[in-house]
A and B are shown apart, each in its own frame.
Chain A
Amino acid sequence: MAVTERSSQLTKQSNPIVSRLRAVVLSKEGILFLIMIAAMFILSLLTDKFLTTNNLLNQLRLVTEIGLMALPMTFIIITGGIDLSVGSIFGLSAIVMGFLWQDSGWPLELAIIMCIVVGTIAGFINGLFIVRVGVPPLIMTLATLALYRGMALGVSEARSARGFPDWFFDLGQRQFLGIPSQLWILLIAAIMVGIILARTPFGRGIYAMGNNELAARFSGIPVRLYKLVIYTFSGFMAGLAGYIFTSRISTTRADMGTGLELDVIAAVVLGGTSINGGSGSIVGTMIGLILIQLLKNGLLLGGVKGDATIVIIGAILILAILINNLVQRRTGGD
């Protein structure tokens, strides 16, 4: 996949292939990838249940929802924004789907579509207020984090939807061509979004906005439109993830997705996207996502107690970021 825009600082005039390789390995993503391989190696020594195709695929199945939401989150954080409401949108969309199907008697197909529509609208509202009224993203999405969650609770009235027909579980619980079905969606979405970010005028505009929004505007980049698009896209993905999650766990509950935004943001930030905006990549986000999940799983399988797992993961996150900062400074990257 496309190497990021912001890596490969130093192109020495030596052997072009060697220097190219050097640039890839020493990029944020390259380093993170090495850390991930190292972690996998160590975890596989802890337990032989870890490094099996089955286990790994299953772990990826579990992070699909977070991964989908991390894609637009990468865009948003690169522009210097944040979306804290994704967990709530995720919950609200799924609840609406369950409600429409179970309580209002809508056909399930239509309810699924509404699930995604509701997510998209919720994201659009975020974007609209951020762009039109100028509410800072942090404040706006903090407010809708509460608002959308409240709506989810109101709609569900603390009841849960269950008893979906069998076909509903195809996406969440079965395989397609030997790979968990929902993983295909993540894979395709990540590739598409990654290429959009790295190669299109839209993606370039996102980076420009994150580094210097005023200069981006002075260059004719439609800054507000782009913001509206990414927040709407974030809602869309949260809706889609809500559907996939329901299909995986067979039921909806009003508190589903609570705190999920932190997992999403952690994956993005660990993946090398600067929280101040301006740099980051989809490849990095995907590696960050997988690294966190594999650590959780490997440590669990290795018999590390729950609390200790969190501590170890936290420590490794900090370490990864430190190593990266060090290397980037050494090589003159930013």
Chain B
Amino acid sequence: MGATLELEGINKQFPGVKALDNVRFDMAAGEVHALLGENGAGKSTLIKIISGVYRPDGGTIRLDGETVLFNTPREAQQRGIATIYQELSLYPELTVAENIFMGHAPRRKVGPVDVLDWKAANTKAQEILTSLHIHTLDVRRKVGTLTVGNRQRVEIAKALSLNARILIMDEPTAALTEADVEQLFSIVRLLRERGVGIIYISHRLHEVFELADRVTVLRDGQYVGTKLVSETSENDLVSMMVGRTIDNLFPKLDTEIGKPVLEVRNLYRRPMTRGVSFQLRAGEIVGLAGLVGAGRSEVAQVIFGINPAESGEILIDGQPVTIKHPGQAMNHGIAYVPEDRGTQGLVRQMRIRENVSMSVLRAIRAGIFINRREERSLATGMIKQLNIRAYSAEQVVNKLSGGNQQKVVVGKWLASKPRILIMDEPTRGIDVGAKAEIHRLMSELAKEGLAVLMISSELPEILGMSDRILVMRGGQVVAEYSRAEATQERIAAAMMSETAGNGAPESETVMIDESETA
């Protein structure tokens, strides 16, 4: 059932940028082929050409040796090419099964008419999930209520429901915790054994070494090279990607840790925040670790006033404050870089300038008007500082690459000059070079006295950047380690101990996992 794919001389021009310039790529049946490159290198563009979203300006695509040209994603799907895009594309209001079978639901006859058979769809969806060893996902749930990890499993199931021979995954692990990543990997291996070819995009190099057979690197829209993973090294790949080596991904500076600026006491907002207490001091970076569904983002959103606390206290500089909506939190100098850039972080239809200034609109006024000049210089400043790849501050955010969109979210909240910066997965989808850059910035800001609360699912990032580490589980802080005491094993154990330790019933963990509040 496998398929081979060859691309040659692919060109793609967007207004203002040449996204792909004479790129080639090939893959064999049952191969996992990683695609690497910096943010904006053209990876997503390339896979969108393979999957029929964009038409190349030039070049040839051969599937099983036959030249093909897909005009729509549907045509590509019919030839067995399924894609999981960087920005997840499910319908939140529909159920898991409905999403999986969107557009190709099983039918049955009612008299002379063909009707969609949702009952069969439910059964089949369940079968597909089971074949992927996913047993805890209810196919009748609305996708909008699922965690990111589970939404992604739904995407994979959807791809398989189309009998994919080639599965393209654009940064599938960006939004996953380590446990979810492990499960994804076993799914990928399962598929490879079945002969499915997989194109795998990621900014995490170790994943490439764990999973891929070959790797192709793009830089600035150009083909750099293809290597066997067994014959290359991380340093090799990094220098192919960025044209230089990166010595330190976690440039943590020693800082003077000052007075507590933020303290929360016994914060409650059911169901996900159940009595959270901690302190955050000036100059300190506190890492907040935990599994998906441990309630980390929810605590952040309680503090930021998106879902205000039901009980408990928030103190700023030792003074109790009430925070009922984000505006109040911002008045206290709190900024929150949210987890999901697409739905929470950005208004993607608007320009970079407009997004960056959105958190400071009231501060950059001239009279009652927005001061356009200040707004523009703010945006161009952020573009420079964060090295956002865009042709101008007037570019619509939608047309940026995923990693560059993430940088805009970070820039937007840096622009608000916060005293307390809460970052929820700040480097999700960002390339190694830019990641080191954002870490350096974070570290410098802390040195200037900013207090940072960093939620991250990447343990190396947590260990590398934090002065102190809190671990959450089931809506509570269950462990705390200083930088010196923290080890990957300890944190991982604290994150999981209950589920692993006393074998809590699966249904209960699932319930906690899933009840993300909107």
The answer to whether A222 has its CB under 8 Å from any CB of chain B is yes
The 4 closest A-B pairs by CB, nearest first: A201-B361, A220-B326, A219-B358, A211-B349
Q: Answer whether A208 and B358 are a contact pair too, CB < 8 Å, given A201-B370, A217-B306.
A: yes
Residues 255-287 (chain A) with a chain B CB within 8 angstroms: 278-279
14 sampled A-B residue pairs with Cβ under 8 A: A10-B15, A11-B392, A199-B369, A204-B354, A204-B370, A207-B350, A208-B350, A212-B343, A212-B346, A217-B306, A218-B345, A219-B326, A220-B325, A222-B325
A233 CB to nearest B CB, Å: 16
Interface contact A334-B370, CB-CB below 8 Å: no
Smallest CB gap from B358: residue in A: A219
Interface contact B370-A218, CB-CB below 8 Å: no
A214: B residues at CB distance < 8 A: 343-344
The answer to whether B18 has its CB under 8 Å from any CB of chain A is no
B350: A residues at CB distance < 8 A: 207-208, 211
B18 CB to nearest A CB, Å: 14
Task: Report which residue of B344, B347, B348 has the largest number of chain A beta carbons within 10 angstroms of its beta carbon.
Answer: B347
A195: B residues at CB distance < 8 A: 369
A205 CB to nearest B CB, Å: 7
Interface contact A215-B369, CB-CB below 8 Å: no
A-B contact count (CB 8 A): 74
Give the interface size bracket for A toward B: 20 to 34
Q: Answer whether A216 and B394 are a contact pair too, CB < 8 Å, given A10-B15, A199-B369, A204-B370.
A: no
Question: CA separation between A212 and B336, bound complex, in Å?
Answer: 17
- Residues of B whose CB lies within 8 Å of any CB of A are 15, 306, 325-327, 329-330, 336, 338, 343-350, 354, 357-359, 361-362, 365, 368-370, 392, 394, 396, 412
Residues 187-211 (chain A) with a chain B CB within 8 angstroms: 195-196, 199-201, 204-205, 207-208, 211
A21 CB to nearest B CB, Å: 17
Interface contact A200-B347, CB-CB below 8 Å: no
Residues 108-154 (chain A) with a chain B CB within 8 angstroms: none
The answer to whether A221 has its CB under 8 Å from any CB of chain B is yes
Known pairs A199-B369, A208-B354 / 16 extra A-B pairs, C-beta < 8 Å: A5-B354, A11-B392, A200-B369, A201-B362, A204-B354, A204-B357, A207-B354, A214-B344, A215-B343, A215-B346, A215-B347, A218-B336, A218-B338, A220-B327, A220-B329, A222-B325
Q: Answer whether A221 and B368 are a contact pair too, CB < 8 Å, given A211-B347, A212-B343, A215-B343.
A: no
Interface contact A334-B349, CB-CB below 8 Å: yes
**CB within 8 A of B358: which of A204, A278, A332?**
A204
B306: A residues at CB distance < 8 A: 217-218
B345: A residues at CB distance < 8 A: 215, 218
Q: Answer whether A200 and B370 are a contact pair too, CB < 8 Å, given A211-B350, A220-B327, A222-B325.
A: yes
Q: Answer whether A201 and B349 are a contact pair too, CB < 8 Å, given A11-B392, A11-B394, A332-B15.
A: no
Interface contact A201-B392, CB-CB below 8 Å: no
Smallest CB gap from B335: residue in A: A220
Question: CA separation between A11 and B330, bound complex, in Å?
Answer: 34
B394: A residues at CB distance < 8 A: 11
A218: B residues at CB distance < 8 A: 306, 326, 336, 338, 344-345
A5: B residues at CB distance < 8 A: 354
Task: Report which residue of A196, A220, A278 has the largest number of chain B beta carbons within 10 angstroms of its beta carbon.
Answer: A220
Smallest CB gap from A209: residue in B: B347
Question: CA separation between A52 and B344, bound complex, in Å?
Answer: 53
B326: A residues at CB distance < 8 A: 217-220
A16 CB to nearest B CB, Å: 13
Interface contact A199-B370, CB-CB below 8 Å: yes
Smallest CB gap from A195: residue in B: B369
Question: CA separation between A214 and B338, bound complex, in Å?
Answer: 11
B383 CB to nearest A CB, Å: 15
B44 CB to nearest A CB, Å: 18
Smallest CB gap from B348: residue in A: A212
A329 CB to nearest B CB, Å: 13
Residues 208-243 (chain A) with a chain B CB within 8 angstroms: 208, 211-212, 214-222
Question: CA separation between A83 and B349, bound complex, in Å?
Answer: 24
B17 CB to nearest A CB, Å: 13
Interface contact A220-B349, CB-CB below 8 Å: no
Smallest CB gap from A219: residue in B: B358
A10: B residues at CB distance < 8 A: 15
A278: B residues at CB distance < 8 A: 349
B369: A residues at CB distance < 8 A: 195, 199-200
B357: A residues at CB distance < 8 A: 204
